[in-house]
Structure 1
Amino acid sequence: MPREPRYTTKHRFPRIERDEEKVRNVPAWPVIGIFLILLFYFITMAAAFLMPVTLAVLLFFVFVPFRRLMDGIGISSGISAAIVTVGMVMLVGGLGYFVSGPISDIAEDSPRIAERLEERFQTLRENIRPLEEAAERIDEVTNNDEAQEQEQVESEPATSSLDDPGVIGGPATTTTEVSAETVAPPDDIDPQEVTVTVDTQETTTLQAIMETGPSVIGQIVFTLFLLFFLLASGDLLYLKVVQSFDTLGEKRAAYTALREIESALGSYLGAITLINAGLAICIGVTMWIWGMPQPLLWGVAAFILNFIPYLGAVTGVAACFLVGLVSFDDIGTPLLAAASYMALTAIEGQLVTPYFVSRRLQLNTVVVFITVALWAWLWSVLGMVVAVPMLVVLKVLADHIPGLEKLGNFLAGDPPPTLDDDEEEDDDKSATDADNVTAPTATA
């Protein structure tokens, strides 16, 4: 005989019969919106950790073909990783050594540069002073007209009944006298002396560099160590990603996507790096021809800024114009130098890059601009640098993940297909034939 439970419920809620087919669909957009808000907050708060990790993973995909090539000739993955890491350290160190001299000269001449800029802007302000005087005269005429209209309104007699002393309930005059003795402080309270200290010390550029230097160096070291371990592990990362899927088809698709990311990033960053190097040489020589100070620094700056789409070129042109204002007495030479910078970057962006970069790596221009602005807001300068490589990775993943084909098509920069006249006539003819076929059927 089965044993009865010791505790039994005496009162139960009535059971409600529900139709399983009529299930209420809860909209997913609020959940997606909350997730995106939390994701952006996490990306912003964890920037000090996520920035070096992201940069190391992107560099890993770039240098994987080199590591695989070294494996083919019998060199182990650890040695290949050491070669890549040491090479990057030497590259960054050598670049910093060549740039340190011009930067130190600019830092020493910063007071003179600031005074020179102020003088130049004062000259420009004096040149446009006639326009300001004309605007002030227009404002004076307008203000005089408004003042005359206001005086006419105030001079009109008041017709309100409240101002008539003969009307009951007219305005009453009340005078309240307050003695100074009533508001005097009590004698038992001693006056206290309050000292206010105003700190007018401003943070100099050197102090800002000293404050942010340790964190930047720490992130660079962390990036290099993580890159070393990723390369030294060989194909372990690929293997773990492939093993996380169940079926053989999914494993094959995951491995194909990883190799596609590797090829796309390698092709994109390799081509962009070579193009930027050529652009840096051209801009450096052009600045030397115009007599701009520190042409080597201009070349290095152009090489780095051109990794940032659109905004990098604008920053370079503005900096060229400002430095030209400080360096030259006339206004024509700074304008010509800035125009030369803009012309070279325009040729690179409109002709050279589309020719050498494969068509499958071309992205939607609007999406690229919005992505660069978004990551600049999240991660500042490094965000602008890694924005396009991360967009390339997202496009490759969207092309290989079922259900994200429309996203991949939206991110692509291919021009829309154009319909020829013959195709449009064929479409119209097929639509007419379909209407003729359906018409007798509806009559029957």
Structure 2
Amino acid sequence: MDSQQTRSLSVPIWGLFIIAVIAVLYIAQSVFIPIFMATLIAFLLTPPVSLLAKYHIPRSIGSAIVIVLSSLLIGTLSSYMAEPVGEWVERLPNEIQQIERKLSPFKDSIESVQETTQKVEEMTSISDDGQATQPDVVVKGPNIFYILVDGTQAFLIGVLSFVVLLYFMLAFGHTLILRTSLLFEDKGYQSQILKIARDVQYKLSRYLLLITALNLVLGAAVTLVMWLLDMPTPIVWGASAAFLNYIPYVGPAINLGVITLVSLQTFDSLAQVILPPALLLGLNLLEGQFLQPMFIGRMFTINPVLIFISVLIWGWLWGMAGIFLAVPLLVIMNIILEKNDFQAASHTRHISRK
């Protein structure tokens, strides 16, 4: 079989392989999501674990210390945010009624369109012989108690799996990479795997730390702006801006919609209603278009088209968790491809010199 026939056969084989990988990732998402999330957070928490190791604290103990301190920090922030968030949850029914009252002109127009559509559907539901069609049979699903219990059980299993995997990756991830490289007899392959792993670990941890710092700055700016505009509970909107900014496109859009509804409920004049979401949009654009390129640099610059495609694919596969993981996974792929391209170019130059 010549090389042309081999290449023609490799295309459908690779296509089937990619389809199989996507199917496995979709079907077994309850297994892969904790693994990917733990790997991502492990990159973020590896620097403090390595710092503790320099002070002769074993990685097994240092990993536990870092996880406990991170959990305490998250728990403290959550408890601090619980009161204002709970206040909004209690006020939600009244707030919805006020928003509906302000949007009543638009609501009346929509209801008239719905009534017209319903009448047309009733007219078309009559068959040609003048008799109404039989109503559809609706099969009831499981009750709400079963859904809540099943969802809570899956959530707890996912959280437990995530925490255990995170600890093992922080404590023993470096030895796993070393043993993986030793599976290859070629010293060149061993060295390449170790270099790629170190490069991915360093650059991705740096990327995540910079993104976290920028998100904290964005949250502080949003809190200050919402406080100056007399928005209620400004710290809630700052925290939501910082957290949701980890989710590309979807997160800022959700936060913008929530701020718009709260502003609509809080203020009466159109200028006051528009100002908070407009300033929030401006801060998001400033952070995304200027601060990120300035501080993250060209090292992590990725084409926005690729980012959007990655968000669509991973969001379709794993929902909100996939959207959260889309950009870090793309950064990892970009680092690996750049490493391989650099080594291939170096190998080509070495051969040409000979």
Q: Same fold (TM over 0.5)?
A: yes
Letter in 1 for 2:82: S
Out of 347, 358, 361, the residue aligned to residue 297 of structure 2 is: 358
**Identity %, equivalent residues:** 27
Letter in 2 for 1:392: V
SS at match of 2:252: helix
Q: Deviations over 1:96-143 (max 9, x none)?
A: 2122222322222222222222222213457x89xx9xxx9xxxxxxx
Letter in 2 for 1:265: L
Q: CA deviation at 1:394?
A: 0.8
Q: CA deviation at 1:367?
A: 0.3
Whole-angstrom distance in 2 between the partners of 1:92 and 1:55: 16
Letter in 2 for 1:370: I
Aligned position for 1:288: 227
1:97 matched to 2:36: no
Q: CA deviation at 1:312?
A: 2.2
Q: Deviations over 1:243-283 (max 9, x none)?
A: 12222222111111111001111110000000100110110
1:32 matched to 2:18: no
Q: Deviations over 1:273-305 (max 9, x none)?
A: 001001101101111221222212111110111
Out of 249, 263, 269, the residue aligned to residue 310 of structure 1 is: 249
1:329 matched to 2:268: yes
| Aligned 1:13-412 pairs, distance under 5 A | 24-25=5-6, 26-124=8-106, 212-233=151-172, 235-401=174-340
SS at match of 2:23: helix
Whole-angstrom distance in 2 between the partners of 1:314 and 1:300: 15
Whole-angstrom distance in 2 between the partners of 1:200 and 1:110: 28
Letter in 2 for 1:31: I
In structure 2, the CA distance between the partners of 1:39 and 1:79, relative to structure 1 (3 Å rule), is: same
Look at both structures and tell me which one has the larger radius of gyration over its CA atoms: 1
SS at match of 2:75: helix
> Are the aligned partners of 1:275 and 1:353 in contact in 2 as well (CA < 8 Å)?
yes
Q: Deviations over 1:355-391 (max 9, x none)?
A: 1103111111110111112212221222111111111
> Are the aligned partners of 1:398 and 1:405 in contact in 2 as well (CA < 8 Å)?
no
* Greater alpha carbon shift after TM alignment, 364-373 vs 117-126: 117-126
Whole-angstrom distance in 1 between the partners of 2:293 and 2:3: 54
Whole-angstrom distance in 1 between the partners of 2:95 and 2:147: 19
Whole-angstrom distance in 2 between the partners of 1:249 and 1:125: 68
Whole-angstrom distance in 2 between the partners of 1:23 and 1:306: 48
Whole-angstrom distance in 1 between the partners of 2:46 and 2:77: 24
Aligned position for 1:156: none
In structure 2, the CA distance between the partners of 1:257 and 1:198, relative to structure 1 (3 Å rule), is: closer
Whole-angstrom distance in 2 between the partners of 1:242 and 1:224: 26
* Greater alpha carbon shift after TM alignment, 345-354 vs 219-228: 219-228
* Greater alpha carbon shift after TM alignment, 215-224 vs 250-259: 215-224
Letter in 1 for 2:43: F
Q: CA deviation at 1:208?
A: 7.7
Aligned position for 1:163: none
Structure 1: gaps (5+ residues): 1-19, 137-195, 407-444
> Are the aligned partners of 1:398 and 1:404 in contact in 2 as well (CA < 8 Å)?
no
Whole-angstrom distance in 1 between the partners of 2:333 and 2:258: 33
Whole-angstrom distance in 1 between the partners of 2:317 and 2:24: 10
Cα root mean square deviation, aligned: 3.1
Whole-angstrom distance in 2 between the partners of 1:78 and 1:22: 51
- TM-score normalised according to structure 1 size: 0.65
- TM-score normalised according to structure 2 size: 0.81
More helix, by proportion: 2
> Are the aligned partners of 1:52 and 1:223 in contact in 2 as well (CA < 8 Å)?
yes
> Are the aligned partners of 1:320 and 1:334 in contact in 2 as well (CA < 8 Å)?
no
> Are the aligned partners of 1:283 and 1:299 in contact in 2 as well (CA < 8 Å)?
yes
Q: How many residues align?
A: 320
> Are the aligned partners of 1:77 and 1:234 in contact in 2 as well (CA < 8 Å)?
no
